[in-house]
Amino acid sequence: MDTKSVLIGVSGGVDSAVAAYLLKEKGYRVEGLYIYNGFPNRAEDDAVRVAEKLSIPLHRIDIAGSFKKDIVDYFVAEYSAARTPNPCVVCNKKIKIHYLFNEAKKRNLDYITTGHYARIENLGGTNGLRLGRGKDRKKDQTYFLFQLGQKELSKLLLPNGGMTKDEVKQIGSDLGFGFLTERESQEICFIPDDDYRGFIEKDHNFQPGNIVTAKGDIVGKHRGIHSLTIGQRRGLNIASERPYYVLAIDKERNEVIVGRDEDQYCKGLIARNVTWASQIYSAATTIRATTHIRYRHRGAASEITVPPPVNGKKYSADTVYVRFDIPQKAIAPGQAAVFYQGDILIGGGWIVKGVQSD
């Protein structure tokens, strides 16, 4: 039998290192790919050390231009448009999986793989592949992969999906990768100090403005609409016996609207650019699912339908209305709404707005 080959994205972290080891142990011919995004850090040196320890070839590609256009510019543009971006979701589809897929094809390698904590389930049939939650629920990363379709899933291996983070770290330690287990990657890879506000302000000017209540009363000042997000409580600097929360951001008026905790709840949301794991979901008029409105959200039972026309104008075909069984709070435009049935991811889209009444 021919030995199967696989190209793994080696990030310089313990997850990808262990994934490469596990596949090699299973008999795969493993090659590594380091994707340089234009933001130098020690990850590349660590990736080289991993490849040397595992005795696998390591290729390098420079995609700095694409990364700036597809990720960094998107990140800044979303904040400028009063939305909360999710660069990790976009990066997984447009950068990591895209370039792994292309490079594997160039090199005639059978599969691609990453260190993500997720599983791939085959339910049978031509559209039967699904993403399933990883064994480690605290580290499950299916949310960030919701845009992957049958084409990508058919070539993707996820060896870490059946393991916990602690198990992966232990394997890494046993292999001599202690220098990797000691550090976790920062929240946003191109902002090493996690100061996203300062990062945006380096090249873009934002004007300070008013923080107002829903009635229009001015209760504070903000340094720019990029500096606050929906649901935020800390850092508003508003003197009040009860805390205020960010309810909405008005780009045109350069205002941030705040209210009390009870004002945050919405009965539903509108999501656009929705993608589905299979045609059976896109063809349905009503779908019951658990909807996650952000990565750390516990998920909410919901009904997904095509939204009704607004002022006689129909929404596009890839837009849905999600109605929650129990109202949810802090629904941020720009974040991903991801849909599950049990442990299986069935689709997702980008939040346009929260809906407070039917």
Give residue 182's pLDDT.
53
Q: Are residues 22 and 59 in the same domain?
A: yes
Q: Are residues 317 and 350 in the same domain?
A: yes
Give residue 339's pLDDT.
98
**Which among 81, 189, 284, 344 is annotated as catalytic?**
189
Active site residue 266: no
CATH at residue 223:
2.30.30.280
Number of domains in the chain: 3
With a cut of 70, which residues of the chain have pLDDT below it? 1, 181-187, 309, 358
Nearest to 336 by CA among 96, 118, 146: 146
For residue 206, being part of any structural domain is answered with no
Q: Are residues 36 and 74 in the same domain?
A: yes
Active site residue 88: no
CATH at residue 297:
2.40.30.10
For residue 197, being part of any structural domain is answered with no
Look at residues 140, 159, 181 and tell me which one is the last residue of a structural domain: 181
For residue 237, being part of any structural domain is answered with yes
Q: Are residues 251 and 116 in the same domain?
A: no
Nearest to 121 by CA among 92, 76, 97, 156: 156
Give residue 16's pLDDT.
95
Q: Are residues 244 and 273 in the same domain?
A: no
Give residue 186's pLDDT.
53
For residue 138, being part of any structural domain is answered with yes
Give residue 130's pLDDT.
97
For residue 44, being part of any structural domain is answered with yes
CATH at residue 32:
3.40.50.620
pLDDT tens digits, one per residue of 178-231: 877 555 555 688 987 888 999 999 888 899 999 999 999 999 999 999 999 999
Q: Are residues 155 and 21 in the same domain?
A: yes
Q: Are residues 128 and 220 in the same domain?
A: no
Q: Are residues 59 and 124 in the same domain?
A: yes
pTM of the entire predicted model = 0.93
Angle formed at CA 147 by CA 19 and CA 350, multiple of 5 degrees: 130
Q: Which domain holds residue 345?
A: 263-355
For residue 196, being part of any structural domain is answered with no
Nearest to 103 by CA among 40, 43, 34: 34
Give residue 30's pLDDT.
98
**Which among 91, 163, 293, 330 is annotated as catalytic?**
91
Three-class DSSP labels, the chain: CCCCEEEEECCCCHHHHHHHHHHHHCCCEEEEEEEECCCCCCHHHHHHHHHHHHCCCEEEEECHHHHHHHHHHHHHHHHHCCCCCCHHHHHHHHHHHHHHHHHHHHCCCCEEECCCCEEEEECCCCCCEEEEECCCCCCCCHHHHCCCCHHHHCCEECHHHHCCHHHHHHHHHHCCCHHHHCCCCCCCCCCCCCCHHHHHHCCCCCCCEEEEECCCCEEEEECCHHHCCCCCCCCCCCCCCCCCEEEEEECCCCEEEEECHHHHEEEEEEEEEEEECCHHHHCCCEEEEEEECCCCCCCEEEEEECCCCECCECCCCCCEEEEEEEEEECCCCCCEEEEEECCEEEEEEEEEEEECCC
For residue 82, being part of any structural domain is answered with yes
Look at residues 202, 236, 259 and tell me which one is the last residue of a structural domain: 259
Q: Are residues 231 and 340 in the same domain?
A: no
Give residue 192's pLDDT.
77
Give residue 344's pLDDT.
97
Q: Are residues 225 and 335 in the same domain?
A: no
Burial class from Cβ neighbours inside 10 Å (0-12, 13-18, 19+) for residue 269 reads: buried
Virtual torsion, Cα 174, 177, 178, 181, nearest 10 deg? -110
Supply 327's token pair. Answer: 């109202």
Q: Are residues 315 and 230 in the same domain?
A: no
For residue 194, being part of any structural domain is answered with no
Give residue 184's pLDDT.
55
Answer yes or no: are the C-beta atoms of 33 and 58 closer than 8 Å: yes
Q: Are residues 49 and 85 in the same domain?
A: yes
Q: Which residue has the tokens 């895209």?
A: 98
